[in-house]
Each structure stands twice: as structure tokens, then as C-alpha cells.
Amino acid sequence: MKQFAMLAFAVGVVQAQPGPDLMAKMQTFSKALGVACEYCHTAPRGSGLAEPKKDIARAMMAMTADINAKIEAAAAKDANGVVAVDCITCHRGVAVPRQLSEILSQTIREKGVAAAVAQYRELRRQYFGGQSYDFSEGTLLTLGQQLTAAKPDDAIALLELNVEFYPQSASTFAALGYAYTRKFDDATAMKYLEKAVALDPDNGVVRGQLEQLRSYRRRK
């Protein structure tokens, strides 16, 4: 009963919608953000205390309505003829809709790569199989590649984590090979490039990198 009472005390649209429709709408918001009612309804009802998240919700609702109106105008169709933007379009079941790569990058900057690895494991445990974060092969691969030039050790930690979950990823083994060249560890680099070629023998780029590295070592 407490939950339904809170749902009835809606986010700025109490007078605009009938009770059942409003409750369904509030439940949609809750699911879209992966939160309970108390996330926005933080003050006792009737207390007059500030509830900042409700103000944000009202602004976001207005923004969504404006976006949908612009989509309809641009497509010259009514609401039934276009794909509408809703809360879940961006939030995907999380309250703060940030990309996984952005979250991990911030953790690396503030706490180091070991904390980012632990964070990835925890987020994967909690959200894998849903739509909240992209746990596909490319997320850690791209982030690792971005870090290789300046922080090869951090890149290697992320790429090795990717191999753990995607052991047949030729692209990740190739990226590991390149990262080890940044550490001047040619032997390990060749080992990973050889794995990449074994998994993707038709990849001429990686094969060329391997042959170039072998030739370089012979000349030394």
C-alpha cells in the first residue's frame, strides 16, 4: 500500500492523469531507471521538504516530450508512425545512464586499473544479460586500445580481462601483442600475435605485424 500511495503522488503529473494510468507510468519510470519509488520520493508526503530528483524527473519528462514532438515533426508523422523516445531509451535500467567504457575510464583515472577490473566483474555479475551495459567483446578491447600508447600496463590488464571472457577474440590477442611492443617485450608480443593469427589466419594486417616483428628481432 505504501508503494501505491507513493505512486499516486506523481512526479509533476498528478492532476494530468487518472490514478491507474499514473501508477503504470510511475512503474515504467522505476523499471527504466532500475530504482524503487524512494529514489525520487525522498521526503515524507506533505512535509514540503525538497525532493531534487523529482525536479530532475520533471525536466527530463519535458525534454522527452519535446524530443518526441520534434521527431514527429521531422518525420511528418504522428506518434503512431515514429519510434518514440522514452526513459528506458537512455537509462536502460540504470539511474545514471553512462556508458560502461566511460565508467571504467573514470575508475582507472581515480582509483587505478585494478579497481576498474574489479568494477567490471561486479557490473557484469549484476547486469549481464540485460540492456544496461555493453559487455560485448568490443568494450574492453576499444578501451584497452585507447590506453595502449600512454598506459600499456593498464591496457594489458583490460585486454587480459577481455580474453578471460572472450578466449577466441583474435582482435584482443592482436591488441595485446601491440601493447607488449610498447613495453619493448617483443617475445611476449609475438606470442600474442601468433595466437591472433592462429585464430584469424586470413587477417593480413596482423600477420604482417608478426612478420615485421620477427624480421626486426632477426636484424637485432
Count of domains for the chain: 2
pLDDT mean over 163-189: 97
State the Cα–Cα distance between residues 46 and 32, nearest whole angstrom: 26
CATH at residue 165: 1.25.40.10
State the Cα–Cα distance between residues 139 and 100, nearest whole angstrom: 8
pLDDT of res. 25: 79
Q: Letter for the amino acid at 117?
A: V
Which of 91, 113, 138 corresponds to the end of one domain?
91
Residue among 138, 26, 34 at smallest CA distance from 92: 34
Place of cell 519510434: 83
CB-based contact 192:215 (threshold 8 Å): no
Span 106-163, pLDDT tens digits: 999 999 999 999 999 999 999 999 999 999 999 999 999 999 999 999 999 999 999 9
| Same-domain check for residues 66 and 106 | no
pLDDT mean over 38-51: 87
- Model-level pTM greater than 0.95? no
| Same-domain check for residues 115 and 64 | no
In which band, very low, low, confident or very high, does the pLDDT at 38 lie, cut at 50, 70 and 90? confident
State the Cα–Cα distance between residues 122 and 104, nearest whole angstrom: 12
| Same-domain check for residues 116 and 72 | no
Q: Which domain holds residue 66?
A: 2-91
| Same-domain check for residues 57 and 129 | no
pLDDT mean over 196-206: 96
